[in-house]
Structure 1
Amino acid sequence: MSWSAAPPVIKVAAGVFGGLAAANLVRTAVQVPMNLANGNYSDAGRALFLALNMIVVLLSLLAVLVAFHLVRGRIWAWVTAMVMLGVLTLFGLVFLLPQLINGDFPWMGLVVLVPSLGLLLALTVPRSARGHFTRKRDYSSPYQAPWPAGGNGAERPH
């Protein structure tokens, strides 16, 4: 599946999904050294901080890979993106609660919730998006079959 064969909604959703993941990689690359240089961490705290941020980096790299394969129509990428976006939607809802309870404007919750919910809807609601992943593919083999097409071999003469 090529870039031009994907529906526009998939191109936009994959671009936003990959773009947000790339922005998260840049944020982590900038923020982690700044926090480590300015913080007074113990060795265990520094190791935990780095380990948690490594998980963020790995998930962001996975999201960039998934975004690339969304355009190509891979069903595993579609399922993986929906799971990742579903979890992010739940995190966005969880981030909303403390800020709403305190009477603050829920910036952090909205920053996570709105893009994740929008991308989840963009990948599931339009018929063209669902059809991009669920249609039957024409796979071609570079090898020629040594038997006649359409049979299971039982009707061949022995």
Structure 2
Amino acid sequence: MEIGASLLATVGVLIVGRVAYGVAVNLGQDQWSSGARAVFLVLNSFVLVFGLFVLLLGDQVRRGRTWAWITGLVMLPFTILFGVVLLLITALSGAVPWAGAGVVLVAVAALITLSAPRATRAYFTRGPAHPAPPVGQAAWTGGRS
């Protein structure tokens, strides 16, 4: 579980880093119009929020939150799909897609680590803990309701 949570958080960090790098490169270029630059920044802000949310999910999975585990298992395939699309776009433009490959590989590893091991599934699919019976004289009903 710890490894899967760490990998999930790493996916978030890679997404945030990729956005930061892309925005820095974009702001350094002069051939973009102000409208195109604004659209690029707005779209990247959505990806940045997504990356920060994935980072938060990694922390919550590490803390044993079932909702975060389920949400991570739902979001990781979309992260992989989005990463593959960006990887292909980068590769087809003639650049080496290091960041895209990193996101995809770490996301695949996180998905496998959060879903494949029996101990991880058992930990998150266990039933809710039953509360301890109340302690004290007033709580005793003598078997009668």
Q: Percent identity?
A: 31
Tell whether 2:141 aligns with 1:134. Answer: no
| Match for residue 74 of structure 1 among 61, 65, 71 | 65
Aligned pairs, how many?
A: 140
* Cα distance in 1 for residues equivalent to 2:80 and 2:139: 52
Q: Which runs of 4+ in 1 moved over 6 A?
A: 96-100, 143-146
Aligned to 2:33: 42
5 Å-filtered alignment, 1:95-134, equals 107=97, 110-134=101-125
Aligned-residue RMSD, C-alpha: 3.4
Tell whether 2:62 aligns with 1:86. Answer: no
Give unpaired runs (5+ residues) of structure 1.
Answer: 1-9
Any idea what SS the aligned residue of 1:38 has? Answer: coil
Tell whether 2:7 aligns with 1:13. Answer: no
Larger RCO (alpha carbons 8 Å, 6+ apart): 2
* Cα distance in 2 for residues equivalent to 1:26 and 1:99: 16
Contact 2:5 2:58 in 1 (8 A): yes
* Cα distance in 2 for residues equivalent to 1:93 and 1:28: 16
TM normalised by structure 2 equals 0.74
Contact 1:91 1:112 in 2 (8 A): no
Contact 1:88 1:113 in 2 (8 A): yes
Q: 1:114 Cα deviation (Å)?
A: 2.5
Tell me which amino acid in the other structure corresponds to 1:63. V
TM normalised by structure 1 equals 0.68
